[in-house]
Structure formats: structure tokens, C-alpha cells
Amino acid sequence: MLSALSIRDIVLIDRLDLALARGLCALTGETGAGKSILLDALGLAIGARADAGLVGQGAEQGSVTAVFDLAADHPARTILRDNDLDAEGDIILRRVQAKDGRTRAFINDQPVSVGLLRQVGDELVEIHGQHDERGLLDVSGHRAVLDAFGGLEAKAAEVRKLWTTAAEARLAFAEHEASLAKARAEQDYLRHVVGELDELAPEPGEETSLAEERTLMMHSEKIAADLGEAQDALSGDGGLEARLNQALRRLSRAADQAAGRLDAGIAALERTLVEAADAREEIERAMRALEFDPARLERVETRLFALRAAGRKHNVAVDNLAALADRLREQLTEIEGGEAKLARLSQEADAARAAYMKAAETLSAARQKIAAKLDQEVARELKPLKLDKATFKTEVAVLKPGDAGPDGLDRVSFLISTNPGAPLGPLIKIASGGELSRFVLALKVALASRGSAPTLIFDEVDAGVGGAVAEAVGLRLAELARTAQILVVTHSPQVAARAQHHLRISKGGEAKSKTAKVATRVDVLDRQDRREEIARMLAGSTVTDEARAAADRLIESHP
């Protein structure tokens, strides 16, 4: 419930701090005293449209703070948690309106968007007045109201879940279908490219090895000449081997007379001859390997150029051609298997749609049934509210399957006819101001046991009625106050007498602000002051003893 309201510099209210209680609270005062200002201020705090004109004269900004005492499981706390805001203790909504039109919003002293403030505010307060187009007058919310009345929220939630599942299945099918269509268009090209690459059969590292072989063959003639000269130096006439052999023979002949002193030299020459022989064999082997083969060079160059041309064509490195072939081959396999996947996704989408339609049709049938019950309960409330000639109907229009949505197959709207034989039409368009408020009151009474915002505000719900009808209005407001906090702006003494709490709104006196000449005041009335105010409402400007006595009777009849 709304436990406290603080207003600073809003129109004629320069400073106001109110403590509010549960039950039915009447707000009374003469016309023009500022009752609407109080409601506008509260509306600002719960996210209503901002207006620089709300800032009081001489002030740079105005502000409104509303404090709510809520149950631990109230939906508003869930919204706060979902937005990483403190959800413990009292919920404090605050709005600052600057004179230049700028506005700031806060929840529990944390800055928030006005949209979030409004979302939370909608869970906390419902304002029903002659010009209110939200709440029960907003046709977009009628379906949810009917579901709440019939206890159909769980079924509606299941329908929304199935709708999401069906939508995701349709999207998956559509995306795969588009992907498959694109793949089919490229299928012939992919087969051609894979065929070319398979025929080429590239291998990783092949380019490097071919390039090295080509370079070697292109220089083989010069290398062979150098090897020939090296071979002549080793084994030709007068070459190294011949000279070493000659030196070895001479040392060997002299060895017998040298008493071992030539043995080391002889051994070294023998090792050198072995190494020289090895070197000669390696040179000969290299010469055989480097024999120039023009046909082999042509084959190497043809292969190398073919690989490089394929790399340029497909814009990949030559070493990645084999990986490209594997990837394109996988795409072809996916295309071939894509038809089976498409068929599976189609079946899943059809099954999800069928499950949604079944649940939506069940929900629609339940809505049709509960709509008749709601009509009956509202009809019972209309007669005592002097609307006995009026007709209320909950229209559940079943949409075409193609127009179905997350909330099911139904478009729900509350229609009325104020006179017999007159066509039914929307609440907001058919009813007059006073009738509209009483229709809303009848609906709220019918819906009272199904829950609503913890604080309900009725602005002149008794407009244009008196006597027994005003008494009936007060009775129903008191009934609503058993399950919610009710604030009613009223000119009816019968309604005010039903209230457990009474606030009198007046204009005049000396304002606390130096710049304001007139201010709106709000006084919490005790029993004596309440008696005087109800007497004023009965008698007008001049309060008589008869009016006071009548006020006593009204108050005593509604303890």
C-alpha cells in the first residue's frame, strides 16, 4: 500500500508530507481546492507523463516521493530484482520535475528510466477517473483482466511458452531453408571446384619442394661443371689422390730404416686417402643426381605453375588447397544431408504449431466460459449503482489462426450499452464521466477477489449521483477496501462517511514558500473535524446544526 507521500513545489502544494493507512480513505474539499493536484502529483511519482507546468510558481523544480509498504512476494519486487535494484524493505518512488521540462526518476534512491518507474508504478497504483485511459479502460489489458478473473494465468503462460517454442521452430526451419536454397544454387559450382582440386590432388608442402627442385635443376649445369673440376682435382692426372699415393709409397719404402719415426705420418696419409676417396664418391653421386633432365624440369614447372594458379583462383595459399577441397566436400555433404534436416525441422515446426493451437483453443474455450460469468457478476453490481438499464458484455473475439499471437487466439474487450436497445461499444466511448467511474467500480468489485494493485484511487466515482446510489457506491468502495487500500476523491457525504480515514483538501492561508501567495493544504481529520466536513458536504457553505446532526447519523451508521 501507499504508506507515505511527500510533495515539494508542485503547483499550489509547496510542502506536504502525508502518512497514509490501509482501508478506505476519503479525500474531500470544495471544487478547485486542489484534489486533482494531489492525484497529478502521485501520478508523476508512479511514471505519468511529465509536465513543466506542474512546477510551483517561483520554484526551479518540484518533486514527489511515494513510499510503498508491500508484501515480500509482490510482483514489483521481482521487477526491481530483474533490474538489479534493491527490492528489500519499503519501495520508494521519486520523481523530480524541472521547470525547463527535464525530469529525473529514482527507485530506492537509484536513478532509473521513466519507463521502469512507470512499469513499477503500474504494479502499485491504479487510478480510475473520468479521464483515465489506463487500467480497465485500456482495451489492451482486458484479456489479462479476464484471465485473472477466471484464474487462467497458468494456461495463458503455457500458451505464451508454446508460442515462443513454435516461433523458434519456424525460425529454425526458415533459416535452414534459406541456407539450403543458397547451397543448392552453388551445388554445381562446388562439384566443379571439388573435381578440379581432386584431379590436382595438392599436398601440403608440395609447392616448397617443387620450387626447390626447380631452382636446383635450373642451376645444375653450372653445379656439374664445378663438381667436375673438383673431381679432377682429387683424382685426375696430378691430382690429390695421385700425389698422396706417391708420398705414401716413398714413406713406406723409407719406413724400415726410420725405426718407427714415419709410422704416424704413414697412418695420417692413409686416413687422408680414405677421406679423399669418400669425397670423390660423394662428388660422383652428386654428379649423377644433377644430370640435367629437360623433361623433368618441364614436369616440375608445369606442376608448380598449376598449383600456384589454383591458389590464385581460390584466393588461398597453395598449402591450403587440400584443406579447401575438404571444406567444399563437407559443404556438398551437408547439402545432400540438408534435405533430411529440412524435413525434420518442418516436422518439428508443425508439431510445435499444433501444440500451440491445441493449448490456445483450450484457453479460448475457457475464456468464452469465464466471460459469461464475469458479465453476470458485473450485472449484479450495476443495478444498485443506478446503472440497471445498462448492459455489460465481455466480448471474446476469436482470431483467424494466422492472426494468433503469444496471448492466444482471442481479442478481449469490455463493451457497454447504457440504454436498452443501444448498440454495445467501448467503455471509454459510450459512458459519461460518472457512468464510466461506476462501471469501473462495478468491475473492480467483481474482480476484487482476484487481486489488483495494492492501492486503488477513484476520482469522483460518485459524480452525478446521490442518495441511495451514493450509499451503494460507498458500500462497494468499503468492500474493496477489505483487500486493497482505497483512496476516493468524493463530493458525496454518504461515501465520505464510509471511510476509515478522511483527508480534507483546502486552498488558502499563507504558504510556506515566500514566492507563493496561495497554497493547497491537506489536513488529516479527527472525528470532530470529520463531522464538520461531512456536515459542510451536506449543507453547503453554511453549516447548520441540522447538517451536523445528519453528519452524526451518517458517521454512526458506518462505524
In a domain, 499, yes or no: no
The DSSP result for 457-477, as a single string, is EEESTTTT--HHHHHHHHHHH
DSSP 8-state assignment for residue 88: S
Alpha-carbon distance 18 to 524, whole Å? Answer: 9
Alpha-carbon distance 137 to 121, whole Å? Answer: 17
Extract the C-alpha cell encoding 527. Answer: 472525528
Residue 95's DSSP bridge partners are 64, 105
State the residue for C-alpha cell 461499444.
Answer: 425
State the residue for C-alpha cell 460518485.
Answer: 462
In a domain, 452, yes or no: no
In a domain, 108, yes or no: no
pLDDT of residue 130: 54
Alpha-carbon distance 502 to 7, whole Å? Answer: 19
Residue 532 CA, distance from chain mean position:
54
In a domain, 538, yes or no: no
Alpha-carbon distance 322 to 319, whole Å? Answer: 7
Q: At 336, which amino acid appears? A: E
Extract the C-alpha cell encoding 490. Answer: 468524493
Tell me the residue range of the domain where 301 lies: 179-335
Extract the C-alpha cell encoding 554. Answer: 451518517
Alpha-carbon distance 473 to 492, whole Å? Answer: 9
State the greatest distance between any 2 C-alpha atoms of the chain, in Å, as a whole number: 168
In a domain, 313, yes or no: yes
At residue 486's C-alpha, the angle toward residues 483 and 488, to 5°, is: 155
In a domain, 240, yes or no: yes
Question: How many Cα atoms within 13 Å fall on the side-chain side of residue 313?
Answer: 11
State the residue for C-alpha cell 470529520.
Answer: 530
Could you tell me where the beta strands, DSSP code E, fall in 385-507? 391-398, 410-417, 425-426, 455-459, 485-489, 501-507
Residues 137, 427 contacting (CB under 8 angstroms):
yes
Residues 136, 457 contacting (CB under 8 angstroms):
no
State the residue for C-alpha cell 483527508.
Answer: 503
Closest C-alpha to 266, from 289, 288, 278, 249: 249
In a domain, 202, yes or no: yes
Alpha-carbon distance 130 to 463, whole Å? Answer: 9
Measured CA distances, 38 to 64, 82, 516, 524 (Å): 10, 31, 17, 14
Helix (H/G/I), strand (E/B), else coil: 503? strand
Closest C-alpha to 106, from 64, 162, 158, 152: 64
Alpha-carbon distance 244 to 239, whole Å? Answer: 9
Q: How many domains does the chain have?
A: 1
Per-residue pLDDT of the chain (559 residues; tens, 9 = 90+): 999 999 999 988 888 899 999 999 999 988 776 788 888 899 999 998 888 989 988 899 999 999 999 999 898 999 999 999 999 999 999 999 999 999 999 999 999 999 999 999 988 998 876 545 455 677 888 898 899 889 899 999 999 999 999 999 999 999 988 888 887 777 778 888 888 888 889 888 888 888 887 777 776 666 766 767 777 777 767 777 778 888 888 888 888 787 778 888 888 888 888 888 888 888 778 767 666 566 777 888 888 899 989 889 989 898 899 888 888 888 788 777 778 888 999 999 999 999 999 999 999 999 999 999 999 989 988 888 888 888 899 999 999 988 999 999 999 999 988 888 888 988 777 666 667 777 888 888 887 766 668 898 888 777 766 778 788 888 888 888 888 899 998 888 998 998 999 999 988 755 454 554 578 888 899 989 999 998 998 887 788 888 889 888 888 876 5
Alpha-carbon distance 283 to 71, whole Å? Answer: 99
Strands 425-426 and 110-112: unpaired
pLDDT of residue 84: 92
Residues 60, 102 contacting (CB under 8 angstroms):
no
In a domain, 259, yes or no: yes
pLDDT of residue 3: 94
